[in-house]
Amino acid sequence: MPSPRVIHPKVRRLMDTPLRVGESPTWDDRTGDLWLVDVLAPAVYCIRANGSLSHYPMPALIGSLALCESGKIIVALQTGVHVMDPESGALTLFCNPDGGRPDSRLNDGKVGPDGHFWIGTRDEATPQTGNGRLYRVAPDGTFQTIIEDGLLTSNGLAWSADGRTMFHSDSSGQFLQSFDFDPATGSLGPARRLTKFTNAEGRPDGAAIDTDGFYWSAGVLDGKLNRINPDGEIVELYQLPLSGPTMPCFGGPDLRTLFVTTLAREVNGEMEHGTVVALDVDVTGVPVPRFPI
Protein backbone atom coordinates (compact mmCIF):
# COMPACT_ATOMS: atom_id res chain seq x y z
CA MET A 1 0.00 0.00 0.00
CA PRO A 2 1.50 3.39 -0.97
CA SER A 3 2.31 5.87 1.79
CA PRO A 4 -0.24 8.66 2.24
CA ARG A 5 0.51 12.14 0.99
CA VAL A 6 1.50 14.29 3.99
CA ILE A 7 0.07 17.82 4.15
CA HIS A 8 0.90 20.52 6.70
CA PRO A 9 -2.11 22.87 6.50
CA LYS A 10 -2.35 26.43 7.72
CA VAL A 11 -4.91 26.59 10.51
CA ARG A 12 -6.82 29.42 12.18
CA ARG A 13 -7.65 29.26 15.89
CA LEU A 14 -11.29 30.25 16.44
CA MET A 15 -11.66 30.57 20.22
CA ASP A 16 -9.54 31.64 23.17
CA THR A 17 -11.60 29.91 25.86
CA PRO A 18 -9.71 26.71 26.71
CA LEU A 19 -11.53 23.41 26.24
CA ARG A 20 -10.92 20.21 28.17
CA VAL A 21 -12.38 17.84 25.56
CA GLY A 22 -13.76 19.75 22.59
CA GLU A 23 -16.07 17.61 20.45
CA SER A 24 -18.98 17.50 18.00
CA PRO A 25 -18.38 20.64 15.87
CA THR A 26 -21.57 21.31 13.91
CA TRP A 27 -22.01 23.96 11.23
CA ASP A 28 -25.30 25.88 11.06
CA ASP A 29 -25.81 26.77 7.40
CA ARG A 30 -28.77 29.05 8.24
CA THR A 31 -26.82 31.37 10.54
CA GLY A 32 -23.12 30.76 9.92
CA ASP A 33 -22.72 29.72 13.57
CA LEU A 34 -20.50 26.85 14.71
CA TRP A 35 -21.75 24.70 17.60
CA LEU A 36 -19.59 22.37 19.69
CA VAL A 37 -19.36 20.72 23.10
CA ASP A 38 -16.81 20.37 25.88
CA VAL A 39 -17.39 16.85 27.22
CA LEU A 40 -15.87 17.39 30.65
CA ALA A 41 -16.72 21.05 31.35
CA PRO A 42 -19.50 20.03 30.67
CA ALA A 43 -20.87 22.66 28.30
CA VAL A 44 -22.22 23.57 24.88
CA TYR A 45 -20.57 26.44 23.03
CA CYS A 46 -21.61 28.39 19.96
CA ILE A 47 -19.15 30.50 17.98
CA ARG A 48 -21.45 33.03 16.37
CA ALA A 49 -20.99 34.30 12.83
CA ASN A 50 -20.01 37.69 14.28
CA GLY A 51 -17.22 36.08 16.35
CA SER A 52 -18.96 36.23 19.74
CA LEU A 53 -19.10 33.13 21.95
CA SER A 54 -22.21 31.74 23.66
CA HIS A 55 -21.80 29.33 26.59
CA TYR A 56 -24.40 26.88 27.90
CA PRO A 57 -23.40 24.94 31.04
CA MET A 58 -24.68 21.36 31.11
CA PRO A 59 -25.79 19.38 34.20
CA ALA A 60 -24.00 16.16 33.17
CA LEU A 61 -21.22 14.96 30.87
CA ILE A 62 -22.06 15.69 27.23
CA GLY A 63 -21.01 13.61 24.25
CA SER A 64 -22.42 15.40 21.21
CA LEU A 65 -25.12 17.61 19.74
CA ALA A 66 -27.14 18.03 16.56
CA LEU A 67 -29.26 20.77 15.02
CA CYS A 68 -33.06 20.47 14.79
CA GLU A 69 -35.38 21.76 12.07
CA SER A 70 -37.09 23.93 14.71
CA GLY A 71 -33.85 25.74 15.56
CA LYS A 72 -33.47 23.86 18.83
CA ILE A 73 -30.49 21.67 19.65
CA ILE A 74 -30.43 17.96 20.50
CA VAL A 75 -27.78 17.21 23.15
CA ALA A 76 -26.57 13.79 24.26
CA LEU A 77 -25.88 13.88 28.01
CA GLN A 78 -24.95 11.09 30.38
CA THR A 79 -28.51 11.46 31.71
CA GLY A 80 -30.10 10.99 28.28
CA VAL A 81 -30.92 12.79 25.04
CA HIS A 82 -32.34 16.27 25.70
CA VAL A 83 -33.68 19.14 23.60
CA MET A 84 -32.04 22.48 24.36
CA ASP A 85 -33.64 25.85 23.72
CA PRO A 86 -30.79 28.04 22.39
CA GLU A 87 -32.54 31.18 23.59
CA SER A 88 -32.76 30.21 27.27
CA GLY A 89 -30.49 27.16 27.51
CA ALA A 90 -33.40 25.22 29.05
CA LEU A 91 -33.28 21.44 28.65
CA THR A 92 -36.18 19.02 28.11
CA LEU A 93 -35.63 15.28 28.34
CA PHE A 94 -36.36 13.65 24.98
CA CYS A 95 -35.45 10.02 25.72
CA ASN A 96 -32.87 8.01 27.61
CA PRO A 97 -31.74 5.09 25.43
CA ASP A 98 -28.81 4.15 27.67
CA GLY A 99 -31.06 4.03 30.76
CA GLY A 100 -28.41 4.99 33.29
CA ARG A 101 -26.28 1.88 32.70
CA PRO A 102 -23.20 1.83 34.96
CA ASP A 103 -19.81 2.57 33.39
CA SER A 104 -21.43 4.06 30.29
CA ARG A 105 -22.16 7.45 28.77
CA LEU A 106 -23.52 8.75 25.48
CA ASN A 107 -20.72 9.77 23.11
CA ASP A 108 -20.52 10.60 19.39
CA GLY A 109 -23.87 11.30 17.71
CA LYS A 110 -25.09 12.53 14.34
CA VAL A 111 -28.33 12.77 12.35
CA GLY A 112 -28.40 10.27 9.51
CA PRO A 113 -30.04 10.46 6.08
CA ASP A 114 -32.95 8.48 7.57
CA GLY A 115 -33.87 11.47 9.76
CA HIS A 116 -32.90 9.71 13.00
CA PHE A 117 -30.32 10.70 15.61
CA TRP A 118 -27.66 7.98 15.80
CA ILE A 119 -25.78 7.99 19.10
CA GLY A 120 -23.11 5.66 20.43
CA THR A 121 -21.78 5.10 23.93
CA ARG A 122 -18.38 4.96 25.54
CA ASP A 123 -17.41 2.17 27.93
CA GLU A 124 -16.25 4.06 31.04
CA ALA A 125 -15.08 0.97 32.97
CA THR A 126 -11.39 0.57 33.85
CA PRO A 127 -10.33 -1.59 32.16
CA GLN A 128 -12.95 -1.36 29.44
CA THR A 129 -15.29 -4.34 29.20
CA GLY A 130 -16.88 -3.93 25.77
CA ASN A 131 -20.24 -2.54 26.92
CA GLY A 132 -20.37 0.09 24.15
CA ARG A 133 -23.55 0.37 22.10
CA LEU A 134 -25.04 2.23 19.15
CA TYR A 135 -28.61 3.58 19.31
CA ARG A 136 -31.00 5.00 16.70
CA VAL A 137 -33.38 7.65 18.07
CA ALA A 138 -36.58 8.48 16.16
CA PRO A 139 -38.21 11.96 15.95
CA ASP A 140 -41.04 10.68 18.18
CA GLY A 141 -38.59 9.83 20.98
CA THR A 142 -38.61 6.06 20.54
CA PHE A 143 -35.30 4.31 20.01
CA GLN A 144 -33.67 1.07 18.92
CA THR A 145 -30.42 -0.60 19.97
CA ILE A 146 -28.55 -1.21 16.70
CA ILE A 147 -25.28 -2.57 18.09
CA GLU A 148 -25.64 -4.11 21.54
CA ASP A 149 -22.32 -4.40 23.34
CA GLY A 150 -18.99 -5.44 21.86
CA LEU A 151 -17.80 -1.84 21.37
CA LEU A 152 -15.38 0.10 23.54
CA THR A 153 -15.87 3.69 22.30
CA SER A 154 -18.48 4.14 19.58
CA ASN A 155 -17.40 7.02 17.36
CA GLY A 156 -16.86 8.42 13.87
CA LEU A 157 -20.40 8.31 12.46
CA ALA A 158 -20.69 9.61 8.89
CA TRP A 159 -22.72 8.82 5.78
CA SER A 160 -21.85 8.93 2.09
CA ALA A 161 -23.42 11.63 -0.07
CA ASP A 162 -25.97 9.20 -1.53
CA GLY A 163 -26.92 7.96 1.95
CA ARG A 164 -26.16 4.37 1.01
CA THR A 165 -23.06 3.80 3.18
CA MET A 166 -22.62 4.40 6.91
CA PHE A 167 -19.15 4.66 8.45
CA HIS A 168 -18.48 4.00 12.13
CA SER A 169 -15.33 3.66 14.21
CA ASP A 170 -14.28 2.40 17.61
CA SER A 171 -11.69 4.77 19.08
CA SER A 172 -10.46 2.40 21.76
CA GLY A 173 -10.64 -0.65 19.49
CA GLN A 174 -8.84 1.45 16.84
CA PHE A 175 -10.81 0.29 13.81
CA LEU A 176 -13.06 1.72 11.10
CA GLN A 177 -16.00 -0.17 9.63
CA SER A 178 -18.69 0.55 7.08
CA PHE A 179 -22.19 -0.77 6.39
CA ASP A 180 -24.59 -0.71 3.48
CA PHE A 181 -27.34 1.66 4.61
CA ASP A 182 -30.98 2.05 3.59
CA PRO A 183 -31.90 5.74 4.03
CA ALA A 184 -35.61 4.91 3.89
CA THR A 185 -35.56 2.47 6.79
CA GLY A 186 -32.20 3.01 8.52
CA SER A 187 -31.39 -0.69 8.22
CA LEU A 188 -27.76 -1.81 8.04
CA GLY A 189 -26.06 -4.52 6.05
CA PRO A 190 -23.23 -6.63 7.51
CA ALA A 191 -20.22 -4.77 8.91
CA ARG A 192 -17.15 -4.43 6.68
CA ARG A 193 -13.92 -3.92 8.63
CA LEU A 194 -11.97 -1.32 6.62
CA THR A 195 -8.98 -0.17 8.64
CA LYS A 196 -7.15 -1.16 11.81
CA PHE A 197 -5.27 1.91 13.00
CA THR A 198 -1.82 1.95 14.55
CA ASN A 199 -0.84 4.31 17.36
CA ALA A 200 1.33 6.23 14.88
CA GLU A 201 -1.73 6.91 12.71
CA GLY A 202 -3.73 8.23 15.66
CA ARG A 203 -6.74 6.62 17.29
CA PRO A 204 -9.88 7.19 15.14
CA ASP A 205 -12.13 9.73 16.81
CA GLY A 206 -14.88 11.87 15.27
CA ALA A 207 -15.27 12.11 11.51
CA ALA A 208 -16.81 13.80 8.48
CA ILE A 209 -17.16 12.83 4.83
CA ASP A 210 -16.70 14.67 1.54
CA THR A 211 -18.70 14.49 -1.69
CA ASP A 212 -15.95 12.40 -3.34
CA GLY A 213 -16.66 9.65 -0.79
CA PHE A 214 -13.55 10.13 1.34
CA TYR A 215 -13.81 9.79 5.11
CA TRP A 216 -11.96 12.33 7.30
CA SER A 217 -11.01 10.83 10.66
CA ALA A 218 -9.45 12.73 13.57
CA GLY A 219 -6.31 10.91 14.74
CA VAL A 220 -6.74 12.01 18.32
CA LEU A 221 -3.44 11.07 19.92
CA ASP A 222 -1.06 12.04 17.15
CA GLY A 223 -2.25 15.38 15.76
CA LYS A 224 -3.53 13.99 12.48
CA LEU A 225 -6.51 14.20 10.18
CA ASN A 226 -6.59 11.05 8.06
CA ARG A 227 -8.38 11.24 4.71
CA ILE A 228 -9.45 7.69 3.90
CA ASN A 229 -10.85 6.30 0.65
CA PRO A 230 -13.96 4.06 0.59
CA ASP A 231 -11.73 0.96 0.67
CA GLY A 232 -10.16 2.03 3.97
CA GLU A 233 -6.79 3.30 2.67
CA ILE A 234 -5.32 6.46 4.19
CA VAL A 235 -4.54 8.53 1.10
CA GLU A 236 -3.80 11.90 2.72
CA LEU A 237 -2.51 12.73 6.16
CA TYR A 238 -3.01 16.28 7.43
CA GLN A 239 -0.44 16.88 10.19
CA LEU A 240 -1.91 19.53 12.47
CA PRO A 241 0.00 21.88 14.81
CA LEU A 242 -2.15 20.56 17.69
CA SER A 243 -1.71 17.09 19.14
CA GLY A 244 -5.28 16.17 20.10
CA PRO A 245 -7.81 16.62 17.26
CA THR A 246 -11.12 15.01 18.20
CA MET A 247 -13.55 15.67 15.34
CA PRO A 248 -13.80 17.54 12.02
CA CYS A 249 -16.86 18.97 10.34
CA PHE A 250 -17.32 20.72 7.01
CA GLY A 251 -18.75 24.22 6.99
CA GLY A 252 -18.49 27.66 5.51
CA PRO A 253 -20.74 28.93 2.71
CA ASP A 254 -19.32 26.41 0.22
CA LEU A 255 -18.68 23.55 2.72
CA ARG A 256 -14.96 23.75 1.95
CA THR A 257 -13.80 24.75 5.41
CA LEU A 258 -12.89 22.07 7.93
CA PHE A 259 -13.56 22.94 11.55
CA VAL A 260 -11.68 20.71 13.99
CA THR A 261 -12.14 20.47 17.75
CA THR A 262 -9.27 19.38 20.00
CA LEU A 263 -8.70 18.23 23.57
CA ALA A 264 -6.28 19.30 26.29
CA ARG A 265 -3.05 17.29 26.46
CA GLU A 266 0.32 17.60 28.11
CA VAL A 267 2.97 17.88 25.39
CA ASN A 268 6.65 17.94 26.32
CA GLY A 269 5.79 18.93 29.86
CA GLU A 270 3.48 21.80 28.86
CA MET A 271 -0.31 21.83 28.80
CA GLU A 272 -1.85 22.28 25.36
CA HIS A 273 -5.42 23.47 25.87
CA GLY A 274 -8.26 22.20 23.73
CA THR A 275 -9.61 24.58 21.12
CA VAL A 276 -11.25 24.83 17.66
CA VAL A 277 -9.31 25.48 14.47
CA ALA A 278 -10.31 25.98 10.85
CA LEU A 279 -8.50 25.05 7.66
CA ASP A 280 -9.41 25.41 4.00
CA VAL A 281 -9.59 22.31 1.80
CA ASP A 282 -10.16 21.79 -1.92
CA VAL A 283 -13.10 19.38 -1.58
CA THR A 284 -16.74 19.88 -0.59
CA GLY A 285 -18.22 18.27 2.48
CA VAL A 286 -21.47 16.33 2.69
CA PRO A 287 -23.98 18.40 4.69
CA VAL A 288 -25.36 16.83 7.87
CA PRO A 289 -29.19 16.71 8.05
CA ARG A 290 -31.18 18.35 10.83
CA PHE A 291 -33.22 16.32 13.26
CA PRO A 292 -36.86 16.76 12.13
CA ILE A 293 -38.40 18.11 15.32
Cα-based angle 187, 188, 194 (whole degrees, multiple of 5): 160
205 is catalytic: yes
Q: Which of 188, 254, 195, 197 is nearest to 220 (CA)?
A: 197
**Catalytic residue selected from 98, 114, 123, 205:** 205
Q: Is 279 in contact with 258 (CB distance < 8 Å)?
A: yes
- Residues with a known catalytic role: 205
